[in-house]
Amino acid sequence: MTAGAESFKVAKGSSFLFEDRRPDEIFTREDISEEQQMFARVAEEFMQKEVLPRAEQIYSKDWPVTRELLLKASELDLLRIDIPEQYGGLGLDKVSSAYVGEQIAVMPSFGASLGAHTTIGTLPIVYFGTPEQRAKYLPKLATGEWIAAYCLTEPGSGSDALAAKAKATLSPDGRHYILKGQKMWITNGGFADVFIVFAKVDGDKFTSFIVERGPGVVSGNEEKKLGLDGSSTTALMLEDARVPVENVLGEVGKGHVVAFNILNLGRLKLGSRNIGGAKFTLNNAISYAKERHQFGRAIANFGLIKRKLAEMAIRCYVGDALVWRTLGMIDCALENVDAHDPMQALKAIEQYAVECSIIKVWTSEALSYVVDETVQVYGGYGYSKDYPAERAYRDARITRIYEGTNEINRIIIPTRLLKGPAKDNLPDMEELINDIMDRTEIDSSDESLLYARRVLANVKETARLALAAVWQNYGEKSSEEQEALALVADIVSEAFAVESTLLRTEKLLANRGERDNKIPIDMTRVYTSDAADRVALNARNLTAALQKPKNLGAAFERLAVQRPINTIVTRRRIADAITEAGRYLW
C-alpha cells in the first residue's frame, strides 16, 4: 500500500447522508501524493508516445498492435498495479490505479481494452481466486502474456444478469464442468486468452469460472458499434467447453457475489476514467473556441460559448471531488483490514456501493454533457470525423450503459440505503417537518462559501426527508416505485456531489488561501445553486406522487433556495480563467 490514506478519517459507507465531515477528513485530488502520481505519469507518457501515434491501427482493429501495446504497458508496470506483490504485482492503492485510469482515458478504445483486462478481467481472480488459481493466472496477467475478459452478459440477459442461460454440467468422471451457452458484448472478446465466465451449474446454481481459450471456446465476429472502434467486442460461444473443476472461481452457486462485487469495483474505476475523458475533451473545446473566429471575434468571447466552457469545467471539478473522495475513503478502509485477506478487502469496498453507483451515474452523465457541448462548440466541424469531438461523442455513450445501466444504478442508490444505513437513521418525519417550517430562507447574498454550506445542509435534509417519505408511503414495496426511487437517487447524489465539492474547495482554501482559489469558489457556488434547483424540482415531483405526510411539500419548499446567485457573471469568470490559461486547471 502506498502512503496517503492513513491520515484521513475512515468514513462508513453512505455516512455522508447522516453525518457531517470537515475538509481535513476527506481525500481530494490535491492530496494525491508524488508516489501515487508516479505510475500515472508513466501512463501519460506511454499514451502520448506509444498509443496515440498508432491510433489508426488500433481503430482499424489491428489486434496484434493492441496486444503489443498491452505488453509494452506491462513492461511499464501498468498492468500489475492492482495485483498483490506475491503474484507478480505491485499491490498499490486504489488512488494510484484510478489515477492511471484517468490518463488512459485519453483514448477510450485502448482504455477499454486495458481497463477490461486489469479490472473486470483480473480482479475476480485477485479477490476470489484460490492461492493456486492466483499463482497460475495472476503473474501471466501482470505481464500481459495473457489478456483477460469478463463474460456476464448474454443475448437474453443483460441487466437481469442472474437470468443467464449458460449451463455448466459436471462430467461423469467429476473432473470437469462442461459449459454450454453464449455470452454477449465481451470486451477483449476477439483476442483474450482467459475469460471469467458465469454459468449455472445444473441450470440453477449461478457460478463463476476461469475459462481458458481452447476447444469449445469460440469468439463471434466483431460487433459493429456506435463508438469504441478500437476495442474488441464480440460474443463468446461456449460449445461444450471443458473447464477443470479447480477453475470454479469462488463457490458453486455464489457467482452473484463475484459478479456484483466486481461490477462495484468497475463503477469506482470508471469514475476517474470518465472525468479524465471529460477533461481531455474540454481542453480540445477550449483550444478550438480560442482559434475559431466568427463575427470578427474568437467564439470563446461569446457569452453562450463561455457558459458551455464554464459548465464543462464545473462538471470536471465536481466529478473529481466525488471520485477522489470515494477512492480515498476506500483506501482508508482498506488500510484497516488484513491486506492478505481478499474477502476482508472486498467487504470493506462493498460498504461503499452507494457511493460507487453515484459515481457511475454522475460521472457518465457529466462526460455525456461535456462531449455533447464540445460537438456544439465545434459547430459543423463537431460533426466531422476529421475533428476529435465526433469520436469523443461516440465513445462516451457506452459509459451510461455498461457496468450496470444508469437506470439500474439509480435504483441501487435508494434501495441499498433503505435496506441498510438509512433504515436505522430515518428521521421522525413529523418532528423534522415542524422544525423545518420554523426556519428562515437561505441568504444567498454573501459571496463566500457560507451560501454553499447553508444550501448543503438543506439538500442533505431534503434527501433524508425524501428517503423517509418514500419508505413511509411504500415500505417494502418501494422497489416497485422506480420513478420515485430515481427522484430520490438524484437528490441523494446531489447531496454527495455538493458536499464533496464544498469540502474540496474548503480544503483548498485552508491550504492555499482565498486569493488563489477564486475560481474553485465560483465553481462550488454555481454548482450548488443549480443543484439546489434540481433538488427542489425533484422534491416537488416526489411530493405530487406521495400521499403522506401532510406538509411534506411545504417542508421541501422551505428547504429550497429562494434567491438564486448570479450564475451568469460567475460562469463568465470561470470561462475567462480557463480560456486565458488555454486549459482546464484543477
Ligand X SMILES: Cc1cc2nc3c(=O)[nH]c(=O)nc-3n(C[C@H](O)[C@H](O)[C@H](O)COP(=O)(O)OP(=O)(O)OC[C@H]3O[C@@H](n4cnc5c(N)ncnc54)[C@H](O)[C@@H]3O)c2cc1C
Task: Answer whether 154's CB lies under 8 Å from 199's CB.
Answer: no
Closer Cβ to ligand X, 120 or 542, answer by number = 120
H or E element at residue 535: helix 518-545
- Cα–Cα distance measured from residue 10 to residue 249, given in angstroms and rounded to the nearest whole number: 31
List the grid coordinates of 35: 508516489
List the grid coordinates of 331: 483506501
Task: Answer whether 493's CB lies under 8 Å from 357's CB.
Answer: no
Closest CA to 309 of 565, 502, 579, 106: 579
Task: State the nearest-atom distance from the C-beta of 483 to ligand X, in Å.
Answer: 10
Closest CA to 92 of 30, 138, 36: 36
Task: State the nearest-atom distance from the C-beta of 260 to ligand X, in Å.
Answer: 12
Q: Read out DSSP for 31-49? A: G--HHHHHHHHHHHHHIII
- Residue 151 within binding range of ligand X, rule CB under 6 A: yes
Closer Cβ to ligand X, 397 or 534, answer by number = 397
* Nearest-CB residue for ligand X: 158
Task: State the nearest-atom distance from the C-beta of 486 to ligand X, in Å.
Answer: 9
Single out the segment in contact with ligand X by CB under 6 A; choices: 3-11, 362-370, 394-402, 516-524: 394-402
Closer Cβ to ligand X, 44 or 212, answer by number = 212
- Residue 128 within binding range of ligand X, rule CB under 6 A: no
Task: State the nearest-atom distance from the C-beta of 580 to ligand X, in Å.
Answer: 38
- Residue 158 within binding range of ligand X, rule CB under 6 A: yes
Closer Cβ to ligand X, 197 or 535, answer by number = 197
Closer Cβ to ligand X, 393 or 556, answer by number = 393
Q: Which residue has the cell 434540481?
A: 534
Task: State the nearest-atom distance from the C-beta of 236 to ligand X, in Å.
Answer: 9
Q: Catalytic site residue 403?
A: yes
Single out the segment in contact with ligand X by CB under 6 A; choices: 180-188, 234-242, 276-284, 527-535: 180-188
- Residue 233 within binding range of ligand X, rule CB under 6 A: yes
List the grid coordinates of 406: 444508469
- Residue 159 within binding range of ligand X, rule CB under 6 A: yes
- Residue 488 within binding range of ligand X, rule CB under 6 A: no
Alpha carbon 120 to its chain centroid, in Å, reads 14
- Cα–Cα distance measured from residue 466 to residue 427, given in angstroms and rounded to the nearest whole number: 10
- Residue 209 within binding range of ligand X, rule CB under 6 A: no
Single out the segment in contact with ligand X by CB under 6 A; choices: 9-17, 404-412, 472-480, 543-551: 404-412
- Cα–Cα distance measured from residue 335 to residue 448, given in angstroms and rounded to the nearest whole number: 36
Closer Cβ to ligand X, 407 or 441, answer by number = 407
Closer Cβ to ligand X, 197 or 536, answer by number = 197
Phi-psi region of 556 (alpha: psi -120 to 50; beta: other; left: phi over 0): alpha
- Residue 91 within binding range of ligand X, rule CB under 6 A: no
Task: Answer whether 467's CB lies under 8 Å from 488's CB.
Answer: yes
* C-alpha to C-alpha distances, 499 to 458, 521, 529, nearest whole angstrom: 11, 13, 13
- Residue 408 within binding range of ligand X, rule CB under 6 A: yes
What is the footprint of ligand X within residues 545-564 (CB under 6 A)?
A: none
Task: State the nearest-atom distance from the C-beta of 151 to ligand X, in Å.
Answer: 5
- Residue 228 within binding range of ligand X, rule CB under 6 A: yes
How many residues of this chain bind ligand X (CB under 6 A)? 20
3-class secondary-structure state, position 149: strand
- Residue 116 within binding range of ligand X, rule CB under 6 A: yes
* Burial class, 85, CB count within 10 angstroms (exposed 0-12 / middle 13-18 / buried 19+): exposed
What is the footprint of ligand X within residues 514-543 (CB under 6 A)?
A: none
Closest CA to 225 of 409, 396, 406, 53: 396
Among 43, 210, 398, 492, binds ligand X (CB under 6 A): 398
- Residue 119 within binding range of ligand X, rule CB under 6 A: no
Strand pairing of 167-170 and 176-187? antiparallel
What is the DSSP code (8-state) at residue 232?
A: -
- Residue 185 within binding range of ligand X, rule CB under 6 A: yes
Task: State the nearest-atom distance from the C-beta of 481 to ligand X, in Å.
Answer: 12
Task: State the nearest-atom distance from the C-beta of 187 to ligand X, in Å.
Answer: 3
Strand pairing of 293-294 and 297-298? antiparallel
Neighbours of 313 (CB within 10 A): 28
Among 152, 258, 282, 519, binds ligand X (CB under 6 A): 152
- Residue 407 within binding range of ligand X, rule CB under 6 A: yes
Task: State the nearest-atom distance from the C-beta of 311 to ligand X, in Å.
Answer: 26
Task: Answer whether 463's CB lies under 8 Å from 492's CB.
Answer: yes
Single out the segment in contact with ligand X by CB under 6 A; choices: 47-55, 213-221, 403-411, 509-517: 403-411
Closer Cβ to ligand X, 2 or 482, answer by number = 482
194: β partners: 148, 212
Single out the segment in contact with ligand X by CB under 6 A; choices: 145-153, 270-278, 380-388, 464-472: 145-153
Closer Cβ to ligand X, 266 or 382, answer by number = 266
- Residue 148 within binding range of ligand X, rule CB under 6 A: no
Task: Answer whether 14's CB lies under 8 Å from 355's CB.
Answer: yes
- Residue 99 within binding range of ligand X, rule CB under 6 A: no
Neighbours of 284 (CB within 10 A): 17
Task: Answer whether 485's CB lies under 8 Å from 410's CB.
Answer: yes
Q: Which of 355, 373, 390, 403 is catalytic?
A: 403
List the grid coordinates of 62: 489491428
Task: State the nearest-atom distance from the C-beta of 480 to ligand X, in Å.
Answer: 10
372: β partners: none
Residues annotated as catalytic are: 403
> Can you give the binding site for ligand X, defined by CB under 6 A?
116, 150-153, 158-159, 185-187, 225, 228, 233, 398, 401-402, 405, 407-408, 482
